[in-house]
Structure 1
């Protein structure tokens, strides 16, 4: 019997890239999802047998069934696979199998892991290393988030939301930051930190932890790992270390790689990377934001660890043009630019709006925000409100529940009630119309969130075009 791997929810960002890797390794692949998507169509074009809708017969004949945490226990395909005794594995286990025998690089963190892993994959490809990679978004340059290369490196975005990053044994681990999130699963901030400590414990003997010194959680993690004998390389912005957010760290905790002469613009960012005993290296990016300079520095550290020349790695990072839904330009109509972004945590929203303010070039910044998960909205309503208040106008539409059922009393009004001028427009299409109506030439409009708010950029552009024509 021919072996076949079946993916339940194959169109998901994390699932589709693993399915693509299995196809590249020559496996027969099938899968299903609740609705059609570009990911399903791409996989079908690559040879996967895909279907829209879930049904028990879809898993008949499958030798392995792959699931993610998003799959509910009453899914008919999952129930059928269990009844048949079919092997059922988590997506992260499937990814580890696809990476068997390669130098595994796991990029983790509460924020920035998609961009950092995308930067690393792009730069390694640019220098001819031909890495394999599995990223939870599409690289703008390649049109995919998955690739099975001929090189030794395997770059993977490591997801902490469901503890699945503990299924990896990385040669190099990256931690961009450690911050409270997914409290519906973890229950406390302390449990989040403990999970990251367990992740670092899984680094191979002799491997490396690359950690951001500018983030308190990551810095503490690095200090603990170094105390346990793990090889650690820290990176951070020189000004942040010299004096601002917290006291000067002891010599043992100072960054090994410092970003000096940071310069930000609406179209990109530059910095000088400095290491003791080494020549300075210029880092020049085509994406905006100080956070992206940090992400790129993490990727640079990994590339150098893997043997890439220091200056060549920095130049190669300049080839990164972004990933889907990370400050992605959707279009421009009547002098109004519409950008889509996946930010769904208060820290991410705050960093996004800093970058947006520079990119607006003096124009206003308008935001259509869709909170993701009832539990996250309830836990961080005040923090979302504070972050969103950095925009000029904000419309907040209803919560995107994803895997969660509605929670009584938890609506997007929890956010707007705490804002200076935010508007709560529950219906998503009405919210898009409200933003389009408010937009004027020179404005930058952001659609923000991890749910189907991404579809509303086109709605806003269409409304702007209709208004211009009228």
Structure 2
């Protein structure tokens, strides 16, 4: 039986309903019987999926799209104050609910696992969703990306477990009260909202402090920021801390990660016993995500060997080293990586998976603020590729910052010895890559913006 729908969520209107986080909440509410409506900037497969669930989806933002009887208007931090539907909500005195509050309401009364960290949240949340579903536990889940298997980012399940990706970017993850919290890593990002690592640590401490009494924190024993966070929260008497990683003192110790082409074999030491399982995506960082998922499931009382077997059913998430296809002997793979740590991890994973191939990268920086702070590190990461094409910055929700362009990345890449080409017209990229690529090469489209659209275009041009 579905949990009762909060009154404010009975007839919600979502501004930006097609977004990864917003659409997931809207889908779950529709599956629970709410009368869902919303608007988005453009038509999409997500909009069609929502309509198939009974939701009303308008294209474009206009005052007439907001019904006067809406029980609430749901927004994310990306929605600007002058959005006409948000202005109209104020005129009609309709309550405005932040996305995180809506998600927190959906988790109420269920055993929640909240997955946090600067990188790897979507993958780890997806691994848990797939494994728990495979075990017949029928979880609900809300993820920031579409699963390669079920092909959706959210689902209402009849079980008592809710797995959610917990976003630190705007501190919204502080709204949740999970039974199990996962912290994969803690690094400085989202520079428009955090001025220092101290602010980041304070935010993560608040998140961890919301774990229900007797609950569990699963946290990396290897990553420096996570180790520091563990030190800061060790004194929380009601919290059980479970560490995982290669560190010899980790509670769930990673004994070995063996690359097997585009998969990995992982062996962990857990409870004095060795356990080996397969992760169906390449790269050590994805293997560690799987170990975090394993530890979280065990914290809920699920047998480790059952979980390990079920984790092997995970086949990936769209945009997380997703193979888009092959043409003229060239494989095209898509990566969501947009922070230097993520970029380095994915590039190293592709190097290990195909050591004899040339690696060509099409990189689109995401956000002016991130490029301003981390552009040098992004450029250095690109030195791991044989050659790179760098596009203009994808602005997303931000206005330009004077003097901040892709040149910051290109200059740093050149200093690091990378072969980098600036391309300002995105439509020319397929021709540029076709002129560079030869049979056996790997092409990686990388970034959090619309660079993902180039994969099929590159394949068409190559063929």
**Range class of TM-score, shorter chain:** over 0.9
TM-superposed deviation, 1:270:
1.2
CA distance in 1, matches of 2:230, 2:434: 45
CA distance in 2, matches of 1:428, 1:404: 19
1:449 aligns with 2:447: yes
The 5 A counterparts of 1:340-379 are: 340-379=334-373
Contact 1:183 1:189 in 2 (8 A): no
CA distance in 1, matches of 2:318, 2:163: 17
- Aligned-partner SS, 1:459: helix
Instruction: Tell me the equivalent position of 2:393.
Output: 399
Instruction: Tell me the equivalent position of 2:282.
Output: 288
Contact 1:274 1:280 in 2 (8 A): yes
CA distance in 2, matches of 1:359, 1:441: 17
1:145 aligns with 2:153: yes
Greater CA deviation, 110-119 or 297-306? 297-306
Instruction: Tell me the equivalent position of 2:108.
Output: 100
Contact 1:209 1:222 in 2 (8 A): no
TM-superposed deviation, 1:284:
1.3
TM-superposed deviation, 1:336:
0.3
Contact 1:269 1:293 in 2 (8 A): yes
Can you give the 5+ residue segments of structure 1 that lack an aligned partner in the other structure? 243-253, 466-470
1:413 aligns with 2:411: no
1:26 aligns with 2:33: yes
Question: 133, 141, 146: which one pairs with 1:133?
Answer: 141
CA distance in 2, matches of 1:159, 1:258: 26
- Aligned-partner SS, 2:70: coil
Question: 173, 179, 183: which one pairs with 1:171?
Answer: 179
Greater CA deviation, 172-181 or 76-85? 76-85
Contact 2:259 2:353 in 1 (8 A): no
- Aligned-partner SS, 2:320: coil
Alignment deviations for residues 309-344 of structure 1 (CA, whole Å, 9 cap, x no partner): 111110110000001110111110010000111001
Instruction: Tell me the equivalent position of 1:433.
Output: 431
CA distance in 2, matches of 1:19, 1:432: 36
CA distance in 2, matches of 1:3, 1:181: 35
Question: 152, 162, 175: which one pairs with 2:170?
Answer: 162
Question: 268, 271, 275: which one pairs with 1:273?
Answer: 268
Alignment deviations for residues 31-56 of structure 1 (CA, whole Å, 9 cap, x no partner): 10111111111101111100110001
1:235 aligns with 2:244: yes
CA distance in 1, matches of 2:206, 2:438: 50
Question: 311, 318, 323: which one pairs with 2:312?
Answer: 318
Q: Give me the CA root mean square deviation.
A: 1.3
| TM-score, normalised by the number of residues in structure 2 | 0.95
- Aligned-partner SS, 1:28: coil
| TM-score, normalised by the number of residues in structure 1 | 0.94
CA distance in 2, matches of 1:394, 1:67: 37
1:186 aligns with 2:194: yes
CA distance in 2, matches of 1:286, 1:275: 21
Alignment deviations for residues 279-304 of structure 1 (CA, whole Å, 9 cap, x no partner): 21112111111001110011001111
Instruction: Tell me the equivalent position of 1:328.
Output: 322
TM-superposed deviation, 1:307:
1.8
- Aligned-partner SS, 1:18: helix
Can you give the 5+ residue segments of structure 2 that lack an aligned partner in the other structure? 1-6
Alignment deviations for residues 203-227 of structure 1 (CA, whole Å, 9 cap, x no partner): 1110000001110111111222222
CA distance in 1, matches of 2:243, 2:273: 18
CA distance in 1, matches of 2:293, 2:10: 37
The 5 A counterparts of 1:21-60 are: 21-60=28-67
TM-superposed deviation, 1:263:
0.7
Question: 1:31–1:438: structure 2 CA closer, same or farther, 3 Å change rule?
Answer: same
Instruction: Tell me the equivalent position of 2:331.
Output: 337
Greater CA deviation, 92-101 or 72-81? 92-101
- Aligned-partner SS, 2:405: coil
- Aligned-partner SS, 2:188: coil
Instruction: Tell me the equivalent position of 2:3.
Output: none
CA distance in 2, matches of 1:403, 1:383: 22
CA distance in 1, matches of 2:310, 2:30: 28
Alignment deviations for residues 84-130 of structure 1 (CA, whole Å, 9 cap, x no partner): 11011011111111122100110000000100000011111111111
Instruction: Tell me the equivalent position of 1:248.
Output: none
CA distance in 2, matches of 1:208, 1:135: 21
Contact 2:253 2:270 in 1 (8 A): yes
TM-superposed deviation, 1:409:
1.3
Contact 1:366 1:444 in 2 (8 A): yes
